[in-house]
Amino acid sequence: MVAPVWLLLQAGSLSQRQIAIDAPFCAIDGTLPALDRIVGQTSKRGSAATMKPEKNKPRVGLFVTCLVDLFRPSVGFATVQLLEDAGCEVSVPFAQTCCGQPAYNSGDRKDAREIARQVIEAFDGFDYVVAPSGSCAGMLKKHYAELFADEPDFHKRAVAFSLRVHELVSFLHDVRGVREVAANLDAKATYHDSCSGLRELGIQKQPRQLLSSVEGLNLVEMKGPDICCGFGGTFCVKYPDVSNAIVGEKTKSISESGADLLLAGDLGCLMNMSGKLKREGSTVKARHIAEVLAGMTSEPAIGEG
Amino acid sequence: MVEITSPGFKDNSAGALADVNLQKAMRHVRVNFIEKRAKAAAALPEFDDLRSSARAIKDHVLDHLDLYLEAYEAKVVERGGKVHWAANAVEARGIVLDICRKVNARTATKGKSMITEEIGLNDFLEKNGITPVETDLGEYIIQLRGEHPSHIIAPAVHLTMDQVREDFRKAHTHLPADRPLNEPQSLLQEARGILREKFLKADVGITGANFLVAETGSSVIVTNEGNGDLTQILPRVHIVVASIEKIVPTLEDMSQIVRVLARSATGQEMSVYTTLSTGPRRKGDPDGPEQYHVILLDNGRSTMLGNEFRDMLRCIRCGACMNHCPVYQSVGGHAYGWVYPGPMGSVLTPALVGIENSAHLPNASTLCGRCESVCPMQIPLPKLLRHWREREFEQHLTPGTVRTGLGLWAYAAKRPALYQRMTGFGIAMLRFLSGGRGRFRWLPLAGGWTRYRDLPAPQGRTFMAQWKAQQARKQN
């Protein structure tokens, strides 16, 4: 992957001011990616011998998410590569299992709180916590703190934790200033905005911007990309008839878009949509956006052997 | 009270999904409401600021509700009206009946009102010899059919025009059987002609209120058909039934909220009629009722004021949440099984009828958050739905199988080493069972998923197992 700043430098038209514009403040924690950090991203490619390598790479803890861990590890490895290409040092704390949403969204606050505590403690000391999922990142970032409303000390810690949490694509784009990737894939793709990423974290333009830089990829919009796919965690098995009606509308929009590849940032939604597409006999393939951005598409698509 | 069928949500929704007419009619919601609202919101640069302002007005009212209610009552009395306080549906119905009986009422026209649905007024009046006549076109249609509204602002949205045409031919037998009724306009004209007589004959007119203005003692209705105006002006007696959170301090406050109301509801800048009623007819007034009554209904609101569902009291009943809800769009309003459908209903219904009678409702949501994103009053609907789930969990209303499953999962999730051993084994098994086909068409215990979808199979070893192995290799 070639960082955008590198391309601009190659073009010889970059002033320091432009770098600052291209790598904006992270509004949440006020971190301004320093020039040397951005330069550091490019030096990783080994072709920027004249540039200073980044002295202190940001330390990123990868929250891999339970579905990626269990069903599609390739998304986890793609995430690691994207983060490393963006100049980060990536670690994966072992004391992680799940973000706790199954408990939290079932009204079981006690278990949700204990799992949240476990995650917060496991990710102590990282500059950032990144997850390849808007849903799980949203849980960590927007919901953990309120679980500790009755524990003032830990609440403070949970708030500080939440400021360090990011969803993968928005982290690359907003925090690391990545605007282009060096991947290529011949496909006509359509992107589904997963609900939590879109509405809790404001992720909409970032994935599209990065996908537009994938060589050979033609991005087309489906009708209502922001409409829920009907997954909803346990909802899809508690109310299968209704969930099926919702995902049926979604697969109709996907098919009508003429795309041959469905992309999204959340594996739960992807398993739901691709499962339905497969059942309908559709030839549309489905992948997590991280696989495409990292150029790691040699694994069969979701649901394919 | 309207019969509660919320415990049958699953059956209700299966029926709704198989109902061809309903599915055809619901297309209208999927397209029209949403596009019109989006256009109206986009055309007003200050729309989001207005939402915040509207929210602040209602929050302020809720902080000082007692004060504003008393101020409002004093103004109504000053203008010659009467205020009745009703703690619950039974009291409210009793007060309406009392007023009707005192003036020997035979028929009562009604403006469109969800609150009279909430208290089950129509059935009650009918049983007591008073004929209620719904005058909103949608309400009139569903009254002919013996149904209840399936949407809070578009009560007959679940019906196709063909169904309505058939209903009119069946009900209006005094008209020529071969009359053309092909255009919506002709249906409207027919209903209009029939209703006009009923307006003139009615003894009492009953309306709800979109707002009660403390500053002036006015009740305010916003409508598109003008039927509300005829309901409250023509009969001798006007009864307003409104819940206590409808109060706003001033006319200026009302005007601000009105600006977000119609835009959110139908995409109009304003509803066609915004009508203020302030007391009975005064000397010299050309029209208006002789008596003006307001029934202020609590029915659970004061409890909500003091608990985690307080934000719900900001609701102005625009319907945007249900228009944008994928669940509502799929199954329509009747599947929810009580008066208020969609996301706002799934928060409000448990507060009004008890969570034990409506346990499905807060769960029958993907928590996609589209409702909150369009709510003009910024009500955090997903959060409130989750709060009901918490109550269900605390009260052991969550089904036993779910609790057990959740308990086992949580036990493992809190023990990473155990979890990773178990999942490592489980995933290897699943991978083996998939036979390299990449997906399952059927899997024991996963019927909820595989009934309609294939289940993608795991790729192989878990990420954690592979990562650990990779790190170990690096160290050696």
pLDDT tens track, chain B, 476 positions: 578 999 999 999 999 999 999 999 998 888 889 999 999 999 999 999 999 999 999 999 999 999 999 999 999 999 999 999 999 999 999 999 999 999 999 999 999 999 999 999 999 999 999 999 999 999 999 999 999 999 999 999 999 999 999 999 999 999 998 899 988 899 999 999 999 999 999 999 999 999 999 999 999 999 999 999 999 999 999 999 999 999 999 999 999 999 999 999 999 999 999 999 999 999 999 999 999 999 999 999 999 999 999 999 999 999 999 999 999 999 999 999 999 999 999 999 999 999 999 999 999 999 999 999 999 999 999 999 999 999 999 999 999 999 999 999 999 999 999 999 999 999 999 999 999 899 999 988 888 999 999 999 999 999 999 999 999 999 88
Q: Would you say A143 and A200 are in contact if contact means Cβ atoms under 8 Å apart?
A: no
* Best mutation target, B463, B464, B467, B475, to test chain A (most A CBs within 10 A): B463
Q: Are strands A261-264 and A184-192 parallel, antiparallel or unpaired?
A: parallel
Q: Would you say A210 and A181 are in contact if contact means Cβ atoms under 8 Å apart?
A: yes
Q: Would you say B366 and A195 are in contact if contact means Cβ atoms under 8 Å apart?
A: yes
- Residues B460, A73: C-beta atoms closer than 8 Å: yes
User: CB contact, 8 Å: A116 with chain B?
Assistant: no
Contacts of residue B470, defined as CB under 8 A and 6 or more positions apart, other chains included, come to none
Angle between helices A267-279 and A240-256 (to 10 degrees): 80
Q: Using alpha carbons, list the distances in angstroms from residue B205 to A42, B107, B188.
A: 75, 9, 21
Considering only CB atoms, B369 lies closest to which of A96, A102, A200, namely: A200
CA-closest candidate to residue A56, choices A26, A92, A87: A87
Residues A117-142: b if buried by 16+ CB within 10 A, e if exposed: bbbbebbeebbbbbbbbbbbbbbbbe
Contacts of residue B224, defined as CB under 8 A and 6 or more positions apart, other chains included, come to B266, B268, B271, B272, B273
- Residues A71, B364: C-beta atoms closer than 8 Å: no
Distance from CA of B327 to the nearest CA of A (A): 7
CA-closest candidate to residue B91, choices B186, B176, B174, B1: B1
Q: Does A47 score more than 80 pLDDT?
A: no
Contacts of residue B408, defined as CB under 8 A and 6 or more positions apart, other chains included, come to none
- Residues A108, B454: C-beta atoms closer than 8 Å: no
What pLDDT score does B2 carry? 76
Contacts of residue B23, defined as CB under 8 A and 6 or more positions apart, other chains included, come to B17
User: CB contact, 8 Å: A258 with chain B?
Assistant: no
Distance from CA of B119 to the nearest CA of A (A): 29
What pLDDT score does B31 carry? 82
From chain B, the residues in CB contact with A81 under 8 A are none
Confidence tier at A39 by pLDDT (50, 70, 90): very low
From chain A, the residues in CB contact with B464 under 8 A are 64, 69, 92, 94
Q: Would you say B96 and B291 are in contact if contact means Cβ atoms under 8 Å apart?
A: no
User: CB contact, 8 Å: B474 with chain A?
Assistant: no
Give the separation between CA B253 and CA B279, rounded to whole angstroms: 20
Q: Are strands B439-440 and B455-456 parallel, antiparallel or unpaired?
A: antiparallel
pTM attached to this predicted model:
0.92
What pLDDT score does A10 carry? 35
Give the separation between CA A241 and CA A243, rounded to whole angstroms: 5
